[in-house]
Structure 1
């Protein structure tokens, strides 16, 4: 059982056994670089994968409690990966990368996983004259810690069950590296992430490793349900809110509310409000749509407006930040090198972009029982009227003056219900279908018709007429009070991170390669025994290989090794 409860003195106690661990590619960044990270959602007690939450959140927060970015991530096998490009609009200072789920927000902010991040903006204009005249980067506060250079730590981090084997330790520019994670016992399945990144004296802090994190085995925290609990997102993404009546005498209970996430893989769901007019939608699939639309259904729909619940977030005012800092002149050369490298890499980003992983196609909720009319299989007609009469004969329309309604024709029964059908276009519910009768049917790919009563949630519809456009981006001009089109934060799409291949040495010989991040793979599989390959860049120096993760049994894996890259042109 995921969440255990027991009755105590007329109130219940709920067990909170979930925590997060984040592996980031670095803790210090210069403007123009990219923060990469992987989230592990684990049980607090034994660090095995947690099956409770299906959605996780990451936020970068500054020392004034301002949220710089927020990512919403769908957990797959209790893990997710994300990234954030550091723009030149962010000021030099201390930040925190925070990871949480809705369920872990029931705990104190001190228990929410956080990584201290330093960002250096070399393009920032000095805002004070109180800093040291020799400082290359200055903060706005008078009392700031002057950071001192620390030697590069090349100490290997070993693991009792796994070992990093390299084809060699010293490489030249654009040379192939063969890396193998060898199992010293039996290979265990698990979740792992691998980073290969250049290190220098701007690395001021080491992040917590999985092994160190695992030593802090926590007891299960008990929460009293008499207090207000933040519910976990057990089945997937949650969208919730309430309806507000224009007249206080209007009942707000048992009112149908519909959710449409439009697109080629669309979502359409209907729920009823509770006694206080509240509703909750659970999206159990990875719907990636163009627009989110909520609507009140029924004859009284115009008596209501819709308001979404405010997203619950950690109490940032209780976060403890490191003191502000200044960089002395000795960091100038390193800072200049990293700044130039990021500018060159970003100038050639078209050749080195990460790619979005195409999301899995989600069949419509009525599939496969609806009859599909693919309009490309017929002689096309310009209007919906003609198309219904000549092609989609299982549908019909009625006209009353300037108003239209759409119905289904069920030839298997003599009784035909006068109620209109559920009409959706690319998943968007249309309660007023008049606009379809002036819509250019050349934009429509297919019409799907389902006869008979059909339940969507608590609501029964008299058949379904689903219109699919060619581009899947239909937008209705309707702007009614009972319709809400919120700008929601949706889960980020999964990425396949860029990996250079210099097997053909002539292919990119005229394109500079100033990558400091040689490899980032948040989905390492150690059970298949296959070697991992990547190529070095044009930047010489010391590179850290960092593997973090957890086995299925909750055993932490933290390994570090190093390689040297020397400028081949100097030989």
Structure 2
């Protein structure tokens, strides 16, 4: 009975920390203690773990996912002494600047060694450092940067040291291990170097490599002290003698435990090694993965790890998750992913970012590490045409992000679609859809019936009513049925009802995240889980037919070069790429047919998922224009001025001669566009250069005056007016277009054919035409993409949304990262009211510690 209770106790604690681990964003600056200058490239890390980061050019460092609790942290920069600090993280954000002392001694004089003698000396170092006889017996361990080693004569002996980090790669465990060690004599026997170790998990090259690495990791974990402590935490005492009789209590921080047992107690590891355990103090403080909070507190009798730490795993390795996964049957029900997206609002005006928090719920939380790490978010028009597609990292079932569009979206109805590659295997249930409206500046959302409701979340405020530009303090509470505080992860939006209205949700968080019982066979699933960005490329002949080809890719200039072959269908996949921010890939294709065209995109999924139909509300004319010129001008900074609207038109010498439409409204030079050869892409880029040109639908349609314009090619009508522009342009290689002239209004000289305006294509001729074809065939074509947004980008977007004093503030407060704790009654948030006092609407969404959706809608200041 006791064992069953302890097992359930620890399993629940494991699941809670797995889903909603209480973590801190620990940040600060690295500073030269003498000059006060900021230090870039400093390494900030927790020894013997995978928690690490580097300072940027401003000296700023960020450790974004450091669990709350006690840690020993170190910081190192070239030319400075190593600094050690003790941390006790208790809040979701912690900030501390770290000063480093410049070194006062110079590097020793390097012993002159070359050729085979150098190889032998390096091999001797590896053997000594790893505690092995011959490095050749451990081919999976490699020294990455032997040039960092400094060999120095000490009489007849050789001392080895390093002024920088030394890197070892372990291909069996999948880690790159960074080490900093104190100098030592190479010939010294039976010696363990004094060193710090920090781990970076490498991406496996293939699924087979991933499985092999996981098998090795499990074998090491089952022979580790951490696993033996987990066994005691869960009540598995049969293999210990004498009987330890463990008792378990909650620790000082979520995810920490206190363990007592009769000591010493011994056990035999799977590798046959016998060890015994004891501890100092009244109780042993442990983290959820079995690692001691204070490493020196656990005493081990027997060599549990006879070799160097480079052979083993970081102390924060979550091996228990993999063990549970190993023993669970994989089914479509247990592997399902359900998605819900909470946007900061539903009504937007042009140029505004769409901020969101996404929640992913799993059929079985133990499978989380094997499931999706990439969330796809698309913005579609009502017809389903994709206007925008971005990807975001999923961490612990959560993703935070934003959508921005270079070209302002036109007034209309849109759909936000969110999915993962794996979730699309579940058909129409595999994506989340949320309607969104873009309004004109003189539009206002229709009045909404406001009905407060709540499940698992509530709040209290510091006042009953608020005036203009006044601070509001709210205390958010997440509670269970008995009213006790619980751990939860929330997103909170506060709307100013003077400037916007709540948007209805066709599917609430409870419904969206409700687990299904799919009648599916895993063997029928077409898409695997994504662990990084997947790029899909295609190669075509000049008739747009896919062809096999040799492809060469240059990633971000010369950062990485990849050579591959496409399949006969002209397609190739570049999976699991970890790009952050904007990245660029240059692509070259060589085929036996000679001339080719190419395309490259971040691969979308779920194109077959049925798009739901929504009944959108009709906006109303705003009773007052809250963005008048005077108000905009009053909000300008010292260095900003308000200019009159201007349309900038590019011009170019006309080489074809007089056209029947006279002077065009706009002229576009395609060389200024980032073309990839795709006709649809060309059409949308063209529309971004021409005010009043609307492109939407699949296949896309063009409208100037309510219908498709007439297309001229070198002054000759290519089809009748009303013929879809895409049908005409598909016959043209877009790289051969010299310029595009556009008339958006009626062209009387063309009679009825000019009723919807004109798109006039002037193509290159002679050598210019040949050069365009050859350039497209033989040179690299550049493609630019947006990868995962960085932590800095996300922070900037949230800070901009919450900045007071702005004229237009439909959302007074947006926080996608509010975490409540069971130890606190509530979590406090603060924001400023708008320039006009009025009612405010609070929208709260989130997941409780039990993985259950919680939500609330509340009206304040309504009187």
TM-score tier after normalising by the smaller chain length:
0.5 to 0.7
Q: Are the aligned partners of 1:262 and 1:291 in contact in 2 as well (CA < 8 Å)?
A: yes
| 2:528 matched residue in structure 1 | 231
Map Cα deviations across residues 90-142 of structure 1 (whole Å, 9 max, x no partner): 4443321111112222333464211122332256xxxxxxxxxxxx89xxxxx
* SS of residue paired to 2:466: strand
Tell whether 2:820 aligns with 1:521.
no
Map Cα deviations across residues 439-488 of structure 1 (whole Å, 9 max, x no partner): xxxxxxxxxxxxxxxxxxxxxxxxxxxxxxxxxxxxxxx99837453233
| 1:332 matched residue in structure 2 | 621
* SS of residue paired to 1:498: helix
Tell whether 2:462 aligns with 1:170.
no
Distance 1:258 1:180, change over 3 A: farther
Q: For residues 76 and 322 of structure 1, what CA distance do their matches in structure 2 show? A: 31
- Relative to structure 2, which stretch is displaced further, 312-321 or 556-565? 312-321
Match of residue 373, structure 2, among 39, 51, 54: 54
Segments of structure 2 that go 5 or more residues without pairing to the other structure are 1-324, 641-774
Distance 1:213 1:245, change over 3 A: closer
Flag the structure with higher helix content. Answer: 2
Matches within 5 A, 1:117-196: 117-122=436-441, 149-151=447-449, 153=450, 155-160=451-456, 162-184=457-479, 187-196=485-494
| 1:268 matched residue in structure 2 | 560
Q: For residues 82 and 189 of structure 1, what CA distance do their matches in structure 2 show? A: 23
Distance 1:308 1:514, change over 3 A: closer
Matches within 5 A, 1:540-555: 540-555=837-852
Q: For residues 346 and 58 of structure 1, what CA distance do their matches in structure 2 show? A: 36
| 2:520 matched residue in structure 1 | 222
Tell whether 2:382 aligns with 1:63.
yes
Q: Are the aligned partners of 2:473 and 2:830 in contact in 1 as well (CA < 8 Å)?
A: yes
Q: For residues 828 and 630 of structure 2, what CA distance do their matches in structure 1 show? A: 29
Q: For residues 506 and 478 of structure 2, what CA distance do their matches in structure 1 show? A: 25
State the Cα distance separating 1:538 from its structure 2 match.
0.9
State the Cα distance separating 1:490 from its structure 2 match.
2.6
| 2:99 matched residue in structure 1 | none
Aligned length: 387
Q: Are the aligned partners of 1:295 and 1:483 in contact in 2 as well (CA < 8 Å)?
A: yes
Distance 1:259 1:86, change over 3 A: closer
Segments of structure 1 that go 5 or more residues without pairing to the other structure are 7-12, 124-135, 138-146, 353-477, 503-507, 567-571
State the Cα distance separating 1:37 from its structure 2 match.
1.4
Matches within 5 A, 1:361-440: none
| 1:312 matched residue in structure 2 | 604
Distance 1:500 1:278, change over 3 A: closer
Distance 1:479 1:333, change over 3 A: closer
Map Cα deviations across residues 298-323 of structure 1 (whole Å, 9 max, x no partner): xx999997955663344489423234
Match of residue 211, structure 1, among 503, 510, 520: 510
Match of residue 356, structure 2, among 34, 37, 46: 37
Q: Are the aligned partners of 1:245 and 1:252 in contact in 2 as well (CA < 8 Å)?
A: no
User: What TM-score, normalized by structure 1, do the two folds share?
Assistant: 0.55
State the Cα distance separating 1:226 from its structure 2 match.
5.6
- Relative to structure 2, which stretch is displaced further, 44-53 or 24-33? 44-53
Distance 1:217 1:348, change over 3 A: farther
State the Cα distance separating 1:244 from its structure 2 match.
8.2
Q: Are the aligned partners of 1:198 and 1:544 in contact in 2 as well (CA < 8 Å)?
A: yes
State the Cα distance separating 1:149 from its structure 2 match.
4.4
| 2:393 matched residue in structure 1 | 74
State the Cα distance separating 1:522 from its structure 2 match.
1.1
Q: Are the aligned partners of 1:14 and 1:224 in contact in 2 as well (CA < 8 Å)?
A: no
Match of residue 495, structure 1, among 790, 794, 799: 794
Q: Are the aligned partners of 1:163 and 1:183 in contact in 2 as well (CA < 8 Å)?
A: yes
Match of residue 431, structure 2, among 112, 118, 125: 112
Q: Are the aligned partners of 2:413 and 2:616 in contact in 1 as well (CA < 8 Å)?
A: yes
Distance 1:148 1:484, change over 3 A: closer
Q: For residues 78 and 340 of structure 1, what CA distance do their matches in structure 2 show? A: 43
Q: For residues 55 and 345 of structure 1, what CA distance do their matches in structure 2 show? A: 42
Tell whether 2:769 aligns with 1:485.
no
| 1:199 matched residue in structure 2 | 497
Map Cα deviations across residues 35-93 of structure 1 (whole Å, 9 max, x no partner): 32111222257899675112112122122323232222222333222334589954443
Distance 1:243 1:316, change over 3 A: closer
State the Cα distance separating 1:203 from its structure 2 match.
4.1
State the Cα distance separating 1:295 from its structure 2 match.
6.2
Q: Are the aligned partners of 2:492 and 2:816 in contact in 1 as well (CA < 8 Å)?
A: yes
Q: For residues 552 and 587 of structure 2, what CA distance do their matches in structure 1 show? A: 6
User: What TM-score, normalized by structure 2, do the two folds share?
Assistant: 0.38
